[in-house]
Amino acid sequence: MRIDRITLRQIRMPLVHFFETSFGRTTQRDMVLVEVQGEGMSGWGEVTAGERPFYNEEWTESAWLILRDFAAPRVLGRDLASAEDVAPLTAHIRGHQMARGGLEAAIWDLQARLHGNPLWKEIGGGARREIPCGVSIGIQNSVEQLLDKIQTELDAGYQRIKMKIKPGWDVDVVRRVRERFPRIRLMADANSAYTLADSDRLKALDEFYLMMIEQPLAHDEIVDHAALQAKLDTPICLDECIRSAHHAEQAIRMGACRIINIKLGRVGGFSEARKVHDAAQAAGIPVWCGGMLEAGIGRAHNIALSTLPNFVLPGDVSASRRYWARDVICPPVEVTPQGAIQIRDQAGFGYELDREFLQQVTVREETLGPRPA
Ligand code: OSB
Ligand code: MG
């Protein structure tokens, strides 16, 4: 598979509703798309970095530069035996998994199209025909607004609710949610807003029998999570901490988590995501697919990933309409009244690109070819 050209595109789209986490509020997304051309076909990837380096160290601009100056030149003009070759070719770049992962995912998509396979098949998935869906609900302006939003998502069929927490929006708010919805599958995500000094506060959440608490402590702190997990009845799920299969193995060995959120971008693409998945599966740790407010391409890639066998818990992959008035794919991602997304069988990521709309939302574009010899 010879890689002839790579086009980077930055698209800008307003979110239907703001999304707020412990590290800030997002109202508009700026995403980098990667189109890889080779053997007369195109494959597509989406970089999942945010607009600011607050979830991890990456952001839109850093992803653009890493791709343009360091990652793309490693594969341009090269004849790859497999998409598996991409991760090792960019492994010398420290960090920046999301930028590298956007390129890697595009090459998996290209390979799937060249083989005439749906992406889920190409990556070794297909354990299920539909994936169970949950939603991630941000911090709201009031508890009433949060309760209303939860009701809306339950009415739409979603199978579990994740609510964002931070100091000052935690125990009392979770209590109100539990009073109103005593039986729903509920979890909380802190996005690294606490330290071990807050153990008592986090322990107080045990009484609400949450499915899990996601990433309570620092983004790079596995050791303290192990200490916290020993004190909590509630399972800890790690998100930010797990950037590789090696991290997953270390976290599992230390007892730092009982569940893992796998994000395609955060771990650098499909090859590493599969390794994280396998390491967790071997240890009896369930996984689910996290989201990064993706547009259609990233969303479709998450759906393919979620068909691997150990993705047994509902993930954060939900309908396009929760984020976008119009998505860049046709049809948009839709969720059944039972709260599931059905798997599609066309080659590649499974949806058509809405090229006219893609053009409308593009704010920057650059095509890279092989370096002259
Ligand atoms: O921690 O899972 C997270 C969004 C942006 C950054 C981090 C996170 C999230 C979400 C949203 O929870 C998931 C989604 O709906 O895409
Ligand atoms: Mg999270």
Q: Which domains does the chain have, with CATH numbers?
A: 5-116+352-368 (3.30.390.10), 122-342 (3.20.20.120)
Of how many residues is the chain composed? 373
> At 125, which amino acid appears?
G
pLDDT at residue 372 greater than cutoff 70: no
Quote the pTM value.
Answer: 0.97
Model pLDDT for residues 34-54, shown as the tens digit of each residue: 999 999 999 999 999 999 999
Catalytic residue numbers, as ranges: 164, 263
Ligand in nearest proximity to the CA of 163: 1
- Assess whether pLDDT exceeds 60 at residue 98: yes
CA 182 – CA 176 distance, rounded (Å): 10
Residue 5's pLDDT band (boundaries 50, 70, 90)? Answer: very high
Residue 208 is classified by DSSP as: G
Q: Which of 153, 292, 313 to mutate to test the pocket of ligand 1 (most atoms within 8 A of CB)?
A: 292
Collect all residues with Cβ–Cβ distance below 8 Å to 226 and sequence separation of at least 6: 251, 254, 255, 256
Tens digit of pLDDT for each residue in 125-157? 999 999 999 999 999 999 999 999 999 999 999
316 lines ligand 1 (CB under 6 A): yes
216 pocket-lining for ligand 1 (C-beta < 6 Å): no
The answer to whether the CB of 257 falls within 8 A of the CB of 225 is: yes
Question: Cis peptide before 331, with omega less than 30 degrees from 0?
Answer: yes
355 CB-near residues (< 8 Å, 6+ apart): none
Query: Is the per-residue pLDDT at 17 higher than 70?
Result: yes
Pocket test for ligand 1, best of 17, 18, 293 (most atoms within 8 A of CB): 293
List pLDDT tens digits, range 191-249.
999 999 999 999 999 999 999 999 999 999 999 999 999 999 999 999 999 999 999 99
In 3D, which of 83, 132, 78 has the Cα closest to residue 317? 132
Which ligand 1 atom minimizes the distance to the CA of 239?
Answer: 1
Burial of 92 (0-12, 13-18, 19+ CB in 10 A): exposed
Tell me 118's DSSP state: B
Task: Please determine, for residue 86, whether its predicted confidence score (pLDDT) is greater than 70.
Answer: yes
Residue 236 CA, ligand 2 centroid: distance in Å: 11
Residues near 373 by Cβ (< 8 Å), separated by ≥ 6? none
Residue 214 phi, psi (nearest 5): -95, 130
Could you tell me which residues come within 8 angstroms of residue 144 by beta carbon, excluding any fewer than 6 positions away?
Answer: none
Residue 158 · residue 149 · CB < 8 Å: no
Q: Would you say the CB of residue 291 lies under 6 angstroms from ligand 1?
A: yes
- Determine the pLDDT at residue 370: 80
